[in-house]
Amino acid sequence: MLTVFLLLPLVGALTVLTLPRDNEGNARWVALFYSVLTFIMSVAIFIRFDPDNPGYQFVDRFEWIQGGDTGFTVQYALGVDGLSAPLVLLTGLLSLAAVLVSWNIDLRPKQYFAWLLVLETAVAGVFLSLDLIQFFFFWELELLPMYMLISIWGSGRPRYSAMKFLLFTMGGSAFMLVGFLVLGLSAGTFDIAVLATEAGRPLDAVIPLSVVFWLVMAAFLVKLPVIPVHTWLPDAHTDAPTAVSVMLAGVLLKMGGYGILRIALPIMPDQARDFGVVLAIIAAASVIWGAILTLQQRDLKRLVAYSSVSHMGYVLLGVSALGAVGLSGAALQMFTHGTITGLLFIVVGLIYDRTHTRQISDMSGLLHRMPVLGVVMIIAGLASLGLPALSGFVAEFTVFAGTIQAHPAATIIAVFGVVLAAGYILWAVQRVFTGPPDERWTGLTDAREWWEYTAMASMLIFIVGVGVYPRLLTDVIESGVEPIALLVQAVA
């Protein structure tokens, strides 16, 4: 089942590519068909996932390299647990939204949608992989479509931004590969679940595990991203087409957090405990410094991009406490940030399609011209700053509740991030939507196309749904993070 889910977008990409050249407009319908299908499958996986059953479900595996030949095994292994199930759902959801907001792409649409679908396969592969080598493969595979999508369909300085993105990520993942090889080769297996057990864990690695921990974390922290390795993010976001920003903020950043939760903590719990304080400090710095940077932005899209740095800091903060509550908060924050920031990027993209500017100072009183976009933006903004009854509040509250005892100082500092978030969100909304209507924008239309409504609505449902009834997600997430929390605490 998971193999089908994983390959479906890839098949879609190939189908798109084989469309006749004179009818490229059909590419979007084919892409939509496949992404709807994948979304339905992701929902099915999420619903059929049984939270009472610990461990991986729907597992597909076979041995690719047999241990007998070489002394180590590499597998093709897919599975979901409570940690990955929400992220699989998120991938399905945001990929669908990404296809919808790309409806008007007219530059080489066949290639565009093909890359978008390949991206979906790559990201899903990261969340489903149960083997380090396979994980690494999908981690790297994701770079290819991202590079293409930003550098061909981007705006501003797309080639520069795409290259910067590529170099940062590859730099990080080179260190990660060193770490993986040391872990896997000295333990004789690359199976994540086996490596995370007491017996399978490499104890006698020749390079100290504390070094390996940071080698692996390097890739995850760049991807998350945290201060000071975040500088690729605003560039990539600003120059990427809307759909790619949605995917980048919505799911790609989560690969970093997911990697920490899936690989770094369970395999190296001792080191995670040793360095928990360091992680908390980095997290608090990211939250605050990210928020301060956000306040200074004059470009609406850059503003949303920088707010991601701040918000992903909460994920790391939740992780740093190493307790079940903090970890669920982190996992929840990953999902909610995906939907909220995804929605923010969608709205910003739609506004940009109309105004052709992203400078906040150029916009004023847009609420009169586009009330629907304005209201959606305000709701997403409120969710982003953590208003109760919307999903952002639940996630951030859980993070704080989970970390206040372990790292009180870092948590108290990070709480101020919420205040700053209220500042930058409300200030931006005020500048863009209220004030005297600018006559330059008189002729602009509001959202009116079906695909615009569908994309926004699909996000809103989850933002409000999780905000009102968090157990929708928390039951599943808790079943995923509790084993991790036990692992980390058991060694103490």
Partner 1 sequence: MNWFDQIHHIGPAFALLLGAGVVMGADLVRPGRAPILSLTLLSLLAGFAWAIWQVLAGTNGPAISGAVVVDEFALFFTFLLIGVTAAVVIVTAEGLSRAEPRPEFFALLLTAAGSMVLLAQAQDLIAIFVFLETTSVSQFVLAGIARDDRSSEAGLKYLLAGAVAAAVLLYGFAFLFGLSGTTSLDGIATFVSSNAGGTELALVFGFVLVAAGLGFKMSIAPFQAWVPDVYEGAPTTVTSFLSVASKAAGFAVALRLFYTGLGGADTFIAEHWAALFAVLAGASMTFGNAAAILQTNVKRLLAYSSIAQAGNVAVGLAAVAASGAAGPSAVLFFLATYAATNLGAFFCVIVVSERIGSERLADYAGLIRRSPAVAVVLLLCLLSLTGIPPTAGFLAKLYVFNSAVQTGIDWMVILVAVAVLNSAVSAFYYLRWARTMVLDDPVDETPFRATAPVQGLLGLAAFGVLFFGLAPSSLLQAAQRAAANLL
**How far is CA 242 from each of CA 31, 83, 98, 350, 409, rounded to the nearest angstrom?**
16, 27, 8, 8, 37
Compute the least distance from the CB of residue 137 to partner 1, in Å.
Answer: 5
Q: Does 170 bind partner 1 (CB under 8 A)?
A: yes
Binding of partner 1 by 72 (CB under 8 A): yes
Is residue 206 near partner 1 by the rule CB under 8 A?
yes
Residue 205 or 375: the one with the smaller Cβ distance to partner 1 is 205
> Which listed residue (171, 365, 435, 437) binds partner 1 by CB under 8 A?
171
* Minimum CB distance to partner 1 smaller for 147 or for 352: 147
Choose the binding region for partner 1 from 1-9, 178-186, 360-368, 454-462 (rule: CB under 8 A). 178-186
Cα distance between residue 177 and residue 243, in whole Å? 29
When asked if residue 468 is in the footprint of partner 1 (CB under 8 A), the reply is no
Segment near partner 1 (CB under 8 A); pick from 20-28, 200-208, 318-326, 331-339: 200-208
d(CA 338, CA 388): 18
DSSP annotation string for 231-242? THHHHHHHHS-H
What is the CB-side half-sphere exposure of residue 120 using CA atoms within 13 A? 37
4 binds partner 1 (CB under 8 A): no
**Token pair for residue 57?**
């479900």
Measured CA to CA, the distance from residue 312 to residue 318 in angstroms comes to 10
Q: Distance (Å, rounded) from C-alpha 268 to C-alpha 487?
A: 10
Residues 228-234: contacts with CB under 8 Å, at least 24 apart = 229/168, 229/172, 230/286, 230/290, 230/309, 231/164, 231/168, 232/161, 232/164, 232/165, 232/167, 232/168, 232/169, 233/305, 233/306, 233/308, 233/309, 234/302, 234/305, 234/306
Instruction: By CB under 8 A, name the one of 27, 80, 124, 177 that touches partner 1.
Output: 177
- Decide if residue 229 touches partner 1 (CB under 8 A): no
133 binds partner 1 (CB under 8 A): yes
Stretch that binds partner 1, among 134-142, 293-301, 397-405, 438-446 (CB under 8 A): 134-142
Residues 140, 270, 438, 482: which binds partner 1 (CB under 8 A)? 140
Out of 66, 104, 359, 405, the only residue in the binding site for partner 1 (CB under 8 A) is 66
| Residue 178 sits in the site that holds partner 1 (CB under 8 A) | yes
Instruction: Please give the Cα distance from 46 to 57 (Å, whole number).
Output: 11
Residues that bind partner 1 (CB under 8 A): 64-66, 69-72, 74, 133, 136-137, 140, 148, 151-152, 170-171, 173-175, 177-178, 181-182, 185-186, 205-207, 215
